[in-house]
Amino acid sequence: MRERVTFVHPQDTDVDPEALDVQPAGLVGPSTDSVRQDRLTFNLDELPLELANLLRGHDAVHLRWTSPRKYDTLEPFSSRQSPGLHVLYTPTAPGANNCSKLCEFLQKIGPVDCMAPEAFTAADTRQHGLPGSMFFYQELEDLSTFIASGLQDICPELDPICLSRLRSLITAASLDLSFDSADQALKIAAFWPLRVHSLTVPGSSMRRTEVGIFTKGSPPNLGPHEVGLGGVLSVLGEQTAPSPVLFAASSRHRLSDMSFSSEFLMPAGLHPTLQLKLSTNKPPVQDSECAPYAYLTLPRKIFADRYQFEDRLFLASKNLTASRYTTLPVDLEAPEYTTKTWGSNVLVELAPPLPSKKQAWTVQLPLHIRYLKPTVSGYAQVEVPYPAVFWACESGSEGDFSTNPFDRRHLGYDELFSSETTFWHAAPKPEVGNRIMSSISVPVLKEEGAAWVRLGTTAVVGLGCAWVIWKLLAAWIGSTQQGGKDEREKSRQKKAN
């Protein structure tokens, strides 16, 4: 097992290397404002047998969880994703159905409704050589279930360091679990947002641990699409003092100056409009072709009508350019309680005002609520995660993002762009509170009236059927009587002749 712990602090915050004490038991340092990422790499033979066998049945498995609480970050940890649990997997054989075993494992992360094969949808990953991939999403408030299962299955009872680090995931902003059959390794990365962190990392003879403490730097020959970092690096158990480092790497994800908020316009009803308020219309770079996008993750309770996004005049009135991608199929009529798929993704290109001057602007996204189950109050709460909002810029030449040790892939939207695209992310800023979830209360049928509605529906359908049967019977009797009259008339005419 290999471990990498990275701290990145703001440029106006100094960390004195002399204050870092590299001991046999680990690194001890002061507390300072910083972001932190812990990354563990396991070979398959180091994993529990059940988990290793599960992964061997897939070409790739990528689990991404993001907290529903607002957080601040620093480069190179710039990527953003809608809050919740995102699952992307590629079976070893095209068309193979491996979702049931994977779903059983997902229960260790949270109560996930994924047992039905129809819960997963086909993922558009053709540009990156992952045909046959399947995707699933579910809202997940925190990692408490994962922590509880980990305390039982991972950490020995007498290992206080393992117990403490696992419990610390309750304050993490994101957690990634990635497996790729090409390297036969499981990579786990946990990220904590910008706040005061203690620069202390315990070491162990059971793993190789690297600890980096960096800030944004400017190494020589820094490219326009690169991020530079400078600081110190320590390998616990091999060094007695940290070593200075300065390096640059091409970065697929960057931070822009744009921020945004997301809320439903009122009154909402069953056809609500999600409004995005964006702080600026100025692209992050001037020497690239850039366009702003919103990548929505919509749970099954709510959906976007893709046909509505084909009217250019309608789109222009909402400050939209086009819908570039929609998960298929999306049933436009089915109630929520009969819908088996998890929901849908929508990639929408936004139409900002001309950048003659820097200004704030808004975008309106028309959505539709499915029919929901009756409630006692006659209203139901619907939450939609904030979308990922970013500028997608073509770099003009393919950057070697593989050299970036902090690169993050398989986020859903990155699969829909070329490998030359860089993403400049907007920071979500809720206007009230710290949750990056948009919530509305929608009208539904009251439970006390549901029985009467069912009874009334049955009665109307029964009366309708009776009326149709009566009309058919009357027509048949009428035709029979008319036929009898015709026969008698013919008989009389024959006798007269």
Q: Which amino acid is at 263?
A: E
What is d(CA 151, CA 225) in angstroms, rounded to the nearest whole number? 41
Query: CA-to-CA distance for 6 and 219, rounded, in angstroms?
Result: 19
Please write the tens of the pLDDT for every residue from 230-249. Answer: 999 999 988 889 999 999 98
pLDDT of res. 369: 94
In terms of Cα–Cα distance, which of 80, 53, 54 is closest to 68? 80
125 vs 300 pLDDT, higher one: 300
C-alpha 362/C-alpha 238 separation (Å) is: 54
Running DSSP on this structure, what letter comes out for residue 375?
A: B
The token pair that represents 153 in the structure block: 């299955």
**From residue 465, how far is each of 150, 455, 457, 458, 461 by CA, in Å?**
59, 15, 12, 10, 6
CB-based contacts of 129, cutoff 8 Å, min separation 6: none
Q: Is 396 helix (H, G, I), strand (E, B) or coil?
A: coil
Mean pLDDT (the chain) is 88
pLDDT of 211 over the 70 cut: yes
Q: What angle do CA 105, 95, 333 make, to 5 degrees?
A: 85
Long-range pairs of 9-13 with CB within 8 A, sequence gap ≥ 24? 9/33, 9/34, 9/35, 9/74, 9/213, 9/214, 9/215, 10/34, 10/74, 10/194, 10/215, 11/215, 11/216, 13/215
Identify the helix (H) or strand (E) that includes residue 313. Answer: helix 312-317
Q: How far is CA 66 from CA 73, 183, 210, 255, 387, in A?
A: 13, 25, 25, 17, 12
The values of phi and psi at residue 40, to 5°, are -115, 140
Provide the residue type at 276 as one letter.
Answer: L
* pTM score: 0.88
Q: Which helix (H) or strand (E) holds 473?
A: helix 447-496
DSSP state of 486: H
As a whole number, mean pLDDT of residues 403-428 equals 93
pLDDT exceeds cutoff 70 at 96: no
320-334 per-position pLDDT tens digit: 999 999 998 788 888
Distance CA(244)–CA(22), nearest Å, equals 14
Return the closest-CA partner of residue 103 out of 114, 93, 95, 94. 114
Would you place residue 356 in the very low, low, confident or very high pLDDT band (cuts 50, 70, 90)? Answer: confident
